[in-house]
């Protein structure tokens, strides 16, 4: 539980706000009920019920995107209810609601929710606020929302940039080993759920050290970039290419059977052999292939492909070896 709170920012905000709402509203609901103010007590109870439902949904489903959006709508609607009950003083509650919208949902949706709240408030003159106070409120609400919007946009773009830095290989621009490990786990889970077949190919350039030694690292880098460019032009959009490290790449092929996997890699083998060049001539590659088997985990799958690649190198390079199916024990 603590791990999820620490690692999922939106879930932690939903939980914090939800808990504050429960702690803050429950005594009022009880008090109003005891006072015989049944309508207000029902409104409080409805808000509490919605908050509890969103909290439970967020924790059970992990869908913090939708839960955050609903929580932002509940917070702003709750703010309007408080305003209608308390009049002008209730306006203060709307400021924290406007700010938290940006923590709970995307910048655009938060701005939309805040704008709609101000619009509804002005249109129906909720809380009977005087004209002069209303204008002041609208102006300050715009300033608060605009600042929070800009801050939130900046935050989102920085998060995207960090994600890119953590998952992309800086030289070739394809996803790195870390992203590959996540994608393989996802593929195994999808295979277990939907029986979708997956092929895996590990591709290692042959005698790449010679390219570096004879022509320098910069030329070696250029060959790697060229290699990625050629592969990317000859695979499907749904196929995924990763740089596993050095001169080794991994290709994940969703939806292929054994024949399909062999045919894609045979074609790639031919194209790379024809098109990939260093100043000394053609650069070839060796390939280890493995089709994902039922009851196989990502490590075992990868190991079979890696053993096949090892075999291809042992057999003299520039060839494709398909891993045998694992023995049933």
Ligand X SMILES: Nc1nc2c(ncn2[C@@H]2O[C@H](COP(=O)(O)OP(=O)(O)OP(=O)(O)O)[C@@H](O)[C@H]2O)c(=O)[nH]1
Does 313 participate in binding ligand X (rule CB under 6 A)? yes
Furthest C-alpha separation in the chain: 91
Out of 171, 189, 225, 282, point to the residue binding ligand X (CB under 6 A).
171
Out of 54, 76, 202, 224, point to the residue binding ligand X (CB under 6 A).
224
> Which parts of 9-51 are beta strand (E)?
none
Min separation Cβ 165 and ligand X, Å: 17
Min separation Cβ 273 and ligand X, Å: 14
Given 247, 274, 303, 314, the catalytic residue: 247
Going 21 to 27 to 32 to 34, the CA torsion angle's sign is: positive
Q: At what angle are helices 217-233 and 258-275 packed, to 10 degrees? A: 140
Q: How do beta strands 277-278 and 248-254 pair?
A: unpaired
Q: Please, are residues 230 and 271 in contact by the beta-carbon 8 Å criterion?
A: yes
Does 306 participate in binding ligand X (rule CB under 6 A)? no
Min separation Cβ 207 and ligand X, Å: 5
Cα gap 304→295, rounded to integer Å? 14
Q: Is 247 a catalytic residue?
A: yes
Q: Please, are residues 164 and 153 in contact by the beta-carbon 8 Å criterion?
A: no
Does 10 participate in binding ligand X (rule CB under 6 A)? no
Measured from the CB atom, is 10 or 313 closer to ligand X?
313
Using CB under 6 A as the binding criterion, the count of chain residues that bind ligand X stands at 16
Measured from the CB atom, is 11 or 283 closer to ligand X?
283
Cα gap 167→187, rounded to integer Å? 17
Build a one-symbol-per-residue string for 193-222: x at contacts with ligand X by CB under 6 A, - elsewhere.
-----------xxxxxx--x----x--xx-
List the structure tokens of 173: 């621009």
List, by residue number, the catalytic residues: 247
- By the criterion CB under 6 A, which residues form the site for ligand X? 171, 204-209, 212, 217, 220-221, 224, 246-247, 313, 317
């Amino acid at each position: 539980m603590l791990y999820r709170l620490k690692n999922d920012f939106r879930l932690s905000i939903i939980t914090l706000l939800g808990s504050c709402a429960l702690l803050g509203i429950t005594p009022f609901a009880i008090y109003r009920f005891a006072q015989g103010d049944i309508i207000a007590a029902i409104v409080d109870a409805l808000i509490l019920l919605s908050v509890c439902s969103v909290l439970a949904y967020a924790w059970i489903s992990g869908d913090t995107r939708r839960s955050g959006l609903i929580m932002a709508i509940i917070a702003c609607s709750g703010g309007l209810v408080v305003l209608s009950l308390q009049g002008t003083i209730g306006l203060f509650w709307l400021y924290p609601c406007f700010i938290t919208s940006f923590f709970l949902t995307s910048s655009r949706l938060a701005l939309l929710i805040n704008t709609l709240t101000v619009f509804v408030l002005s249109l129906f003159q909720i809380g009977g606020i005087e004209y002069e106070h209303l204008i002041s409120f609208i102006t300050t609400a715009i300033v608060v929302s605009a600042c929070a919007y800009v801050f939130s946009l900046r935050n989102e773009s920085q998060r995207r940039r960090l994600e890119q830095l953590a998952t992309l290989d800086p030289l070739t621009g394809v996803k790195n080993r870390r992203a590959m490990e996540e994608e393989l786990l996802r593929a195994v889970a999808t295979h277990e759920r939907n029986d979708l077949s997956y092929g895996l190919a590990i591709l290692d350039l042959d005698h790449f050290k010679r390219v570096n030694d004879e022509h320098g690292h910069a030329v070696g880098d250029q060959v790697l970039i060229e290699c990625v460019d050629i592969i990317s032009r000859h695979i499907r959009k749904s196929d995924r290419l990763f740089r596993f490290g050095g001169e080794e790449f991994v290709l994940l092929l969703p939806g292929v059977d054994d024949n399909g996997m062999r045919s894609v890699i045979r074609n790639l083998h031919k194209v790379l052999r024809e098109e990939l060049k260093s100043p000394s001539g053609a650069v070839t590659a060796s390939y280890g292939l493995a089709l994902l088997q039922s009851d196989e985990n990502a490590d075992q799958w990868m190991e079979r492909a890696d053993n096949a690649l090892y075999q291809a190198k042992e057999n003299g390079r520039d060839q494709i070896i398909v891993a045998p199916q694992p023995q049933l024990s």
